[in-house]
Amino acid sequence: MWAAPESGGMSDVGLFETLELTEYEATALAELLRLGRTTAPNLAEATGIPKARIYGVLDSLGDQGYVKIIPGRPKEYQPRSPEAILERAKENKRQEFESFERDVDGQREEFLARFGPAFERGGDEITPAEELFYVVDVGEPSESETRRLYHEADRAVYVLTKSFEYLESVEPALEDALDRGIGVRALFHHPDLLDDEERRIQERIVDRLRADHAGVEFRFSEGRLPWRGTFTDPSMEYDDGEAIFLVEEPDVPNHMRQAAITENGSFVAGFKRYFDLVWDHESAAEPT
């Protein structure tokens, strides 16, 4: 075990999680950003990283484009600016994805030739229910799918929710939809239908929508909504749209629940008809 000084990089390691650095790399980069240009021995002493490891750590940071290696006796290492580091991190991921995409495309022909016929032969065993829905766990998996719906929406997003307590986790995707001119409407449960904690959360979320996301229209349902979720791009021709939803199950804790996802255009159109009926006839613009 080792530990860096209290003023060193160990306390900052969490800030580098998104960059997918090792603990040593994160610690070294954090300290470099404080020290500026320095040598490997100086950095090892400042961070507590073993001298036998420090050169490999710095070479790795150099390979990733976060540190400039300056030749000399001894070599010196200079961090790039914080802004440049973040931009380089995105570029590294882009290049990694492009490499992955080339690898997949390189195997496409063989993969399809080998497994395509077998899949087609087995396709008759798929049940209608399996064609209509698939499920994901409630929590990060369902929130990830919800973010995807916002990003992929072409025309409109509709939300049915108690208090929209998960707003923070989908907020960047919501902003993306609004920036692209996508209409967003949300139906909340009326505050009288919520417990005290849910009511406080709803009030905070509504204030945030008014302040930061004025493009979101919302109303308050007079009755309990039998299901909650998000659906996008419904079509009355039943040929478009996608939805993620969960039914009301008060006695089932969230960590044991699953959300259903459907791309069935008829089902999504049905959600839209239900949403419009509540919006037009059974909801209020302000809770009273």
pLDDT in tens, the chain (288 residues): 333 334 444 455 567 788 889 999 999 999 999 999 999 999 999 999 999 999 999 999 999 999 999 988 888 999 999 999 999 999 988 899 899 999 999 999 999 988 888 877 765 555 555 468 888 888 889 999 999 999 999 999 999 999 999 999 999 999 999 999 999 999 999 999 999 999 999 999 999 999 999 999 999 999 988 889 999 999 989 889 999 998 766 666 666 778 999 999 999 999 999 999 999 999 999 886
Phi/psi at 210 (5° precision): -65, -40
Q: Residue 248: its pLDDT value, please? A: 64
Residue 139: left (phi > 0), alpha (psi -120 to 50), or beta?
A: left
β partners of residue 135: 260
List Cα–Cα distances, 207 to 172, 187, 211, 218, in angstroms: 17, 15, 6, 12
Helix (H) or strand (E) holding 224: none
- How far is the C-alpha of 69 from the C-alpha of 91, rounded, in Å? 19
Q: What's the pTM value of the predicted model, to 2 decimals?
A: 0.58
List Cα–Cα distances, 164 to 16, 71, 82, 88, 167, in angstroms: 29, 55, 34, 35, 6
Task: Give the torsion through C-alpha atoms of 199, 201, 202, 203, to 10 deg.
Answer: 90
Alpha helices in 213-246 (DSSP H): none
205-239 residue pLDDT tens: 999 999 999 999 999 999 988 889 999 999 989 88
Q: In the chain, what are the domain boundaries?
A: 9-83, 131-284
| CATH number of the structural domain 131-284 | 3.30.870.10
Domain 9-83 has CATH 2.60.40.10: no
